[in-house]
Amino acid sequence: MLTESNKHLTYCLNIHPGETWPEIFEAVRTYACAVRDRIHPGNPFGLGLRLGHRAAEALSAAGECEVFSAFLESEDLYVFTLNGFPYGAFHGTPVKTNVYAPDWRTAQRRDYTITLIDILAALVPAETHGSISTVPGSYKNWIKNDDDVREMAEHLADCAAHADRVRESTGRTIEICLEPEPDCYLETTSEALSFLAERLFQYGVPHLCSTGRYANDTAETILRRHIGVCLDTCHVALQYESLSEALSRYEEAGVRVSKIQISAALSAVPTPEARRELSVFDEPVYLHQVKARRAGNLHSYPDLPPALEDPAPADEWRVHFHVPLYFTGSTVLNSTAVEIDRTFLATVHTSRATHLEIETYTFDVLPEELRTQDVAVSIAREYEWLLPRLGNASGEN
């Protein structure tokens, strides 16, 4: 759907379990249409598909995109963004650090993303562009030397080159957006800027020029056009960064913000009572990195259990557990949704970013009391939380 400022807004279908293309297609029929009917009936409604490797291969088979496109047209739906972050299974089995594998050092990640580029180019409407969010390079502990960084840049450059050939042949521009995340190679805004404004060109330009097809300036143009960032408000808040300043820094540096994911993390002062309530959120599927702030300094825990086991005091914990935007917490648990404030949303309105996506993929692992309603109702409530705030911020500079 389009917002008042002509931003495309959707929710990420990674909230719905399903790894095969038929399962994902059924989630669109069952849940996405139900959400549309609740919050935007009778109007075009945008989709944010999550396609792992298995589903992408199936959808790329001859005739499948045509069948899905016909369904989209019949339902007044359109696809403008893909979640290409998890390559393999994402629900119902321990994911943890596997969500980052294969990473951008590998040909597997490159080739999977090229498949997604082709799919999105076949689905995205002619009047808009497409975005694909992806792993922020790698898990930080996996990067050992500069050769790893070079491999990541070269594989991204290959995808940019493919996306540009697709643009020339179809007229559709597809952008690959790296999504900074806690404990990853790209974690903070500064790290993302260092890579996307410097290292990507240091290694990506010579790699493209080595094919004999590109001059330096052409290679730079292609990288700038097709490689950008996905700003996830949960992840930025986990670093205790200002959301509006992070977005402004990307814009000022000329780094393309291809997508903004609107999401929220848990926050608390780690008192004994808060620790007891947070323990309910300890579950075996996803990583829930914790960033503790102590006297202005940050301390990192790779998952929630190590944080809960550490008795050290802190001024605040922020926990990488996506909670619904409307989550009001308790007397001791809060949410970083308060950071999605009027100042940030006004910056979103004036920014060049046009793709917005609500992303609360944790519905199935939320504590029971937060899953008392149908998932479509929960998603609709997130739209109802966000849309008035977007509208109220539209007049602020």
Helical residues (DSSP H) of the chain, grouped into ranges: 21-27, 33-39, 53-59, 64-75, 107-123, 146-170, 189-194, 200-209, 216-226, 233-238, 243-253, 272-278, 304-309, 342-350, 375-393
Percent of the chain's residues with pLDDT above 90: 95
Q: Do residues 174 and 125 make contact, with C-beta atoms less than 8 angstroms apart?
A: no
pLDDT tens-digit profile of 88-136?
999 999 999 999 999 999 999 999 999 999 999 999 999 899 999 999 9
Mean pLDDT of 143-159: 98
pLDDT grade for 5, boundaries at 50, 70 and 90 = confident
pLDDT value of residue 397: 41
Q: Where are the domains of the chain?
A: 8-263+336-393
Residue 232 has pLDDT above 50, yes or no: yes
Q: CA-CA distance, 189 to 246, in Å (whole number)?
A: 6
Q: CA-CA distance, 347 to 341, in Å (whole number)?
A: 10
Residue 2 has pLDDT above 90, yes or no: no
| Residue 90, Cβ density class (10 Å: 0-12 exposed, 13-18 middle, ≥19 buried) | buried
The domain 8-263+336-393 belongs to what CATH superfamily?
Answer: Divalent-metal-dependent TIM barrel enzymes (3.20.20.150)
Q: pTM of the predicted model, to two decimals? A: 0.97
- C-alpha distances in angstroms, 182 versus 66, 142, 186, 208? 38, 14, 8, 30
Q: CA-CA distance, 152 to 148, in Å (whole number)?
A: 6
> Which strand (E) or helix (H) includes residue 286?
none
Percent of the chain's residues with pLDDT above 70: 99
Query: What one-character-per-residue DSSP string does 155-166 give?
Result: HHHHHHHHHHHH
Q: Do residues 222 and 161 make contact, with C-beta atoms less than 8 angstroms apart?
A: yes
pLDDT value of residue 395: 64
Number of Cβ atoms within 10 Å of the Cβ of 197: 14
Residue 175 has pLDDT above 80, yes or no: yes
| Residue 27, Cβ density class (10 Å: 0-12 exposed, 13-18 middle, ≥19 buried) | buried
